Amino acid sequence: MEDPTPALGATTDHMHPPQEQAVRAKTIENDREQALVERETLAQSIVSDGSAEKADLFTKTFPLPPVCCCPVSPQSSDGSRVSPSADTPTQLP
pLDDT digits (tens, 9 = 90+) for 73-89: 666 666 666 555 555 55
9 backbone φψ class: left, alpha, beta (φ>0; ψ -120 to 50): left
* Tens digits of residue pLDDT in 28-49: 999 999 999 999 999 999 999 9
How much is the pLDDT for 21?
Answer: 92
Sign of the alpha-carbon dihedral angle for 44, 47, 48, 52? positive
Q: What Rg, from alpha-carbon coordinates, does the chain have?
A: 26
Q: Is residue 26 helix, strand or coil?
A: helix
pTM summary value = 0.50
